[in-house]
Chains A and B, each alone.
Chain A
Amino acid sequence: MAQARPSMTRFYLLLLAVAVAGGGALWWVVRGSAPKSIPANIEVSAADTAGFRGYILGSDTAPVEITEFGDYQCPACGQFEQMQFPTVRAQLVETGRIRWRYMDFPLDNIHRWARLAAHAAACADEQGHYWPMHELLFRNQAVWSSDSRAGSLFRDYAGQVGVDLGRYDSCMNDIKYAGRIQAMAEQGIRTGVNATPTLLIGGRLYNYIGSDQIKALVDSLEQAATP
């Protein structure tokens, strides 16, 4: 059997050392990178929801509150956000007639990135950038929904809305808001939500309804409340 020359042996050992060191570094980076999913089977603690009622938009003194249970990857939710919500926001929220409350209701079995998107939004909320992030996630839903790099795209969106990415990375790596998201999902189930988007208006649940119907419901609730 041919013997390798000593210089060649040293060279192969060097090559092997570089391959092992490089491979190890890559393994370490992948292992320590941001989570690819947010656990759903998490036990919710009181601290997860302390002082949190959902993501609120509008005045504290608005006479009517509408709660939306939504999923960032649900196409109907995306359509509602694009087609109906701008009118609702302009005509009802910004005029002080209603307060909008958004609750996460990720449908994990059909939307693989929904909970990760909800967590990305929660991490943006931590820095006061929730609604721009919420809007950007829905606007780009078609882009990230089928992309294996969804987590990277969320980070990119976070950067676009002005989130400090160092703090965002820590928040995502720590899976800081998994309990809060699960608490919202459990609240949705207790309320009777079984699809998204579902709106809770005046104690009743409505699936996708348009801005005109929402306005009509608000009108009737206001009339009923008038003495």
Chain B
Amino acid sequence: MGSALLALVGVLVSTYLYLYKLGLLGAIACGTGGCETVQLSEYSRFLGIEVPLIGLLGYLAILGLALAGIQPKWESARWPAQALLGLTGGGVAFTVYLTWIELFVLHAICRWCVGSAVIILLLFLLALLDVRRHRHT
């Protein structure tokens, strides 16, 4: 349940950043001023795709898996937890790469990106606990 709720918050955060990338927000709410530097940089696209869109699709997939995992018919199934672990593991790796770019290339920190990093890390830890729980049952 916690995973679904966190993933929903992730969906909202990434939607906000994607709306900015679409030009639908005049300015981004960011106390540090680093958000626009990050979002307007060349690193705001990955393989030609806007990074917030990747985040949005990722969080939607996580939300779907988290909701599937709490359905009565799949409550004892291992695959939702394993798929969540794989997806959130990929998300953490991608977040590490983006944070490295922020810190050492752009020298700018986007608070929304930090928020997303915390969310994906918590999702990964919850998925890890879930997989362990399934192993012991």
> Which of chain A's residues have a CB closer than 8 A to the CB of B4?
11, 15
Interface contact B8-A149, CB-CB below 8 Å: no
Q: At the interface, is chain A mostly helix, strand, loop or mixed?
A: helix
Select which of B8, B12, B28 is within 8 A of A26 by beta carbon: B12
Select which of A8, A149, A151 is within 8 A of B70 by beta carbon: A8
Interface contact B25-A29, CB-CB below 8 Å: yes
Please tell me if A30 contacts chain B, counting CB pairs below 8 Å.
yes
196-225 of chain A: CB within 8 A of chain B: none
What CA separation (Å) do A149 and B26 show in the bound complex?
A: 8
What CA separation (Å) do A147 and B11 show in the bound complex?
A: 24
Q: Of the 9-residue stretches B15-23, B77-85, B95-103, B127-135, which lies at the interface with chain A?
A: B15-23
What CA separation (Å) do A31 and B120 show in the bound complex?
A: 29
CB-nearest residue of chain A relative to B29? A29
Interface contact A152-B8, CB-CB below 8 Å: no
> Which of chain A's residues have a CB closer than 8 A to the CB of B70?
8, 11
Select which of B20, B26, B33 is within 8 A of A169 by beta carbon: B26
Q: How many chain B residues touch A (Cβ–Cβ < 8 Å)?
A: 25
> Which of chain A's residues have a CB closer than 8 A to the CB of B26?
33-35, 151-152, 155, 169, 172-173
Please tell me if B5 contacts chain A, counting CB pairs below 8 Å.
yes
Please tell me if A153 contacts chain B, counting CB pairs below 8 Å.
yes
Interface contact A19-B36, CB-CB below 8 Å: no
With known contacts A15-B4, A18-B5, A18-B9, A26–B23 Cβ distance under 8 A: no
Interface contact A33-B12, CB-CB below 8 Å: no
CB-nearest residue of chain B relative to A33? B26
Interface contact A22-B27, CB-CB below 8 Å: no
Interface contact B27-A150, CB-CB below 8 Å: no
What CA separation (Å) do A173 and B26 show in the bound complex?
A: 9
Interface contact A14-B5, CB-CB below 8 Å: yes
CB-nearest residue of chain B relative to A169? B27
Please tell me if A126 contacts chain B, counting CB pairs below 8 Å.
no
Interface contact A33-B25, CB-CB below 8 Å: yes
What CA separation (Å) do A156 and B96 show in the bound complex?
A: 27
What CA separation (Å) do A172 and B12 show in the bound complex?
A: 26
With known contacts A2-B72, A18-B5, A152-B36, A36–B23 Cβ distance under 8 A: yes
Please tell me if B1 contacts chain A, counting CB pairs below 8 Å.
yes
Closest CB of chain B to A17's CB: distance in Å? 10
A residues near B (Cβ < 8 Å) are 2, 8, 11, 14-15, 18-19, 22-23, 25-26, 29-30, 33-36, 147-153, 155-156, 159, 165, 169, 172-173
